[in-house]
Amino acid sequence: MIGHGVTARGVNRRGILVLLLLACSFPTLVGCPANGSVTAVDRQRYQVLARERLLRIAVGDRVGSPGFLISPKLPPRRGYLDGYLIDKLGHRAASTGSPAPGAGLSLPAVSRSAKNAARAATAKGMAALRASGWTVYFAGCTPPSASVPSDSAIPWPSPEPDEWSFDAFAYRLVGGVSYFARLHGFADANGDVRVDFRFLTPNSHETTANLFPDRPPAVSRTGNCVESRTDPTSRTHAGPVIAMFDNGPAAGRSPTIAPSGYR
């Protein structure tokens, strides 16, 4: 996301954000709001995101847009705001030479300092969200080479053989409208450390403004893997693996909850 907050590894994320901004200078391009497609309600909801306390500890560039509707036949695009809490490039590990035939490629390990930095920044983001009224209801950790669930559609990044990842989801209700936040931190064997965030709000064209009517409870501050001091040895999480997605439901359909998240 940033996609769902996750982009392909090795891609310049700031470059992607710049390209998106340039592309949206041309309203005929798919994915960019056309004239009249953004309502006053969508702008108001976006301003709620723009005042979030988490932005005070953000670094570098950020990008966002109010929700918009290209066509009544297409799902509405939800308002979003993306940014970073930490964005540091390390140094690619020195090559150990070509592996012997049949020996496979030995990947370098993630340094403890890089992993700890990603974890600490993710935890700092969780604390900032709680301090401004958010309920952090999910926290997950994925060590390098961890096994993955069979459902590839879950809003939780797939593991990499040389990468730690730390994730958290949160929601907040303001005036009957549900807002969603996702934190994604990672550290890899190249020494790269990033924690990005994405805020989302329902589009004004959706049939309901509260996508969290069941109010998932908060995760324990001491019992989740991100804020714990113990490193998990396998993929683990606390709280339901559900999330808001970038687009709302198709016209005439209500948002439904599923293991893969709020549609």
Q: What is the domain partition of the chain in residue ranges?
A: 33-93+106-262
**CB distance 192 to 90 below 8 Å:** yes
From residue 45, alpha-carbon distances to 40, 49, 52 in Å are 9, 7, 12
Residue 14 CA to residue 36 CA, distance in Å, equals: 28
Query: Predicted confidence band at 217 (pLDDT cuts at 50, 70, 90)?
Result: very high
Average pLDDT over residues 110-133: 94
Which residue stretches of 12-111 are H helix? 13-23, 40-50
Query: Predicted confidence band at 131 (pLDDT cuts at 50, 70, 90)?
Result: very high
The SS3 of residue 115 is: helix
pLDDT recorded at residue 83: 96
**CB distance 140 to 232 below 8 Å:** no
DSSP assignment, residue 174? E
Tokens 């990008």 appear where? 63
Indicate whether 58 pLDDT > 60: yes
This prediction has a pTM of: 0.78
Query: Predicted confidence band at 46 (pLDDT cuts at 50, 70, 90)?
Result: very high
Closest CA to 77 of 124, 51, 45: 45
DSSP assignment, residue 32? S
Indicate whether 132 pLDDT > 60: yes
DSSP assignment, residue 54? G
